[in-house]
Chain A
Amino acid sequence: MTAETDVTDLLTVRGVRKAFGDHEVLRDISFEVPKGTVTAVIGPSGSGKTTVLRTLNALDKADAGVIGIGDLTVDFAEPVDRATLARFRAQSGMVFQAHNLFPHMTVLQNIIEGPVIVQKRPKAEALSAARKLLEQVGLEEKADQYPYQLSGGQQQRVGIARALALEPQLMLFDEPTSALDPELVGDVLSVIKDLAAGGWTMVIVTHEIRFAQQVADQVLFIDGGVVLEAGPPEQVIGEPTQARTRQFLKRILDPI
């Protein structure tokens, strides 16, 4: 027994496949994410990064493959009943590229909607938890504003707070900063760094290679519907073994 086997994997992905029509987007995705660690997913546009995240939350149901999150493992080759699917979805929280906040609700209402309406938690309790989360993402004074009154970076941080409010075991981020003006990126990334330091288990699709290097314990390079290369950032970003990875990194780090 080596030291690594002591680490429990929070997320286990085995042989996930997903096609849209006859377009096979994910061909055989396998990886695991140890509890309390951060995994950054990088790869060319259209390689299936978003689709991987969406299968982890069953926004897109995998055609085949086994996904285990915490104590719940689902085999997507079999029909999955609604109750199981709901339980599976509740294991993870999703932060979208385009935040997708509810525009007709204030910041606070956005955050307590899940806890109160879905989890049936007492409203007072949900409100005080929501205020703590807002403090955590640096937006306590925006509690009663509507999303349109916030900057893109603030909206994205509310989106993070909304996902955290449900206390999922796993947080999923799909390019949380790519729709933002450059000067707003830092605030969002620093919130994510704080979460990493706080022990959250996270999977983050990102184009911010420097950020991935700083916070990720593991980097996955996805291309052609498979995980082409996986390992610590020093390896995958520092000394990639695959030509495709090197090409991709060269293009993204040195675009001109």
Chain B
Amino acid sequence: MDPATWALIWRNLWPMLVATVTQTIPLTAISFVFGLVVALLVALARISKTGPLSALARGYISVIRGTPLLVQLFIVFYALPQFNIVIDPFPAAVIAFSLNVGGYAAEVIRAAILSIPKGQWEASQTIGMGYATTLQRVILPQAARVAVPPLSNTLISLVKDTSLASTILVTELLRVAQLAAAPTFDFFALYGVAAVYYWVICVILSFGQSRLETRLERYVAR
């Protein structure tokens, strides 16, 4: 590579890091947390014995999983303004990603909850716990052990999917790379840097995942 390319890379390392830290990472983290809340509610609705609630949850999951994430982003950012709902790029991205994670993670959480033996619910009931307390103290801590590996995959996918937010004008990592490369068409260099940044985040997350899994396995016979 010629020196001009190196200089271009060098000049953009910092702005791209700033975009990662101020946009990509917060976008991922906030969307993931909201997404998990949505997912838990949808999972509980899906499990519930109230027919319409369960059907609604199933419909939601089906729509989220059956439509492209890019279309979901476009609907929130470009289509809602038609109904006079105008949302800034960053919050629009948070909404779309949260709803998306909510749909995917709901099935994971549902399966994890259902994997906990009925005896755990019954034991909780006999010591006087209600539904919410049982979930919080007994079921979810155990379900977490089952859910962490697939949810980690969801999170790692989400890190990469946040690059789609560049299409709705969020100045996250990929968009900064695009803008920096545009004048000289030196896309290879800057997209390469972006790729490395994404990869580093994902490596760190994978490391965190195995740490968390070890922690959650502490009460299981090996």
Contacts and interface: CB of A to CB of B under 8 A. Distances in A.
A168 to B, nearest CB: 9
Contacts of B141: 104
A96 B120 CA distance: 11
A70 interface: no
Interface stretch (B30-38, B102-110, B123-131, B176-184): B123-131
Interface string B111-126: 0000001011011011
Contacts, number: 59
B129 A117 contact: yes
A146 B218 CA distance: 9
B128 A104 contact: no
B149 to A, nearest CB: 17
Contacts of B48: none
B127 A148 contact: no
Nearest to B218: A146
Given A90-B128, A146-B219, A100 B123 contact: yes
Interface in A146-194: 146-149, 162-163, 166
A98 to B, nearest CB: 6
A102 B141 CA distance: 10
A101 B126 CA distance: 12
A114 interface: yes
A234 to B, nearest CB: 33
Contacts of B219: 103-105, 146-148
Interface string A116-134: 0111000000000000000
Interface residues of B, number: 21
A53 B141 CA distance: 29
B119 A98 contact: yes
A96 B128 contact: no
B11 interface: no
B119 A96 contact: yes
B210 interface: no
A89 B123 contact: no
Given A102-B138, A103-B142, A104-B141, A118 B122 contact: no
A70 to B, nearest CB: 16
Nearest to A59: B122
B119 A114 contact: no
A137 interface: no
B142 A118 contact: no
A104 B142 contact: yes
A165 B141 CA distance: 23
Interface in A76-124: 86, 89-90, 93-94, 96, 98, 100-105, 113-114, 117-119
A1 to B, nearest CB: 38
Interface residues of A, number: 27
B221 interface: yes
B220 A117 contact: no
A143 B143 CA distance: 24
A118 B123 CA distance: 13
B137 interface: yes
Contacts of A105: 219
B126 A163 contact: yes
B214 interface: no
Interface of A: 57, 59, 86, 89-90, 93-94, 96, 98, 100-105, 113-114, 117-119, 146-149, 162-163, 166
Interface of B: 117, 119-120, 122-123, 125-130, 133, 137-138, 141-142, 145, 218-221
Given A93-B126, A100-B117, A103-B219, 16 more contacts: A59-B125, A89-B126, A96-B122, A100-B119, A100-B120, A100-B123, A102-B123, A103-B220, A104-B141, A117-B133, A117-B137, A118-B128, A118-B133, A119-B128, A163-B127, A166-B128
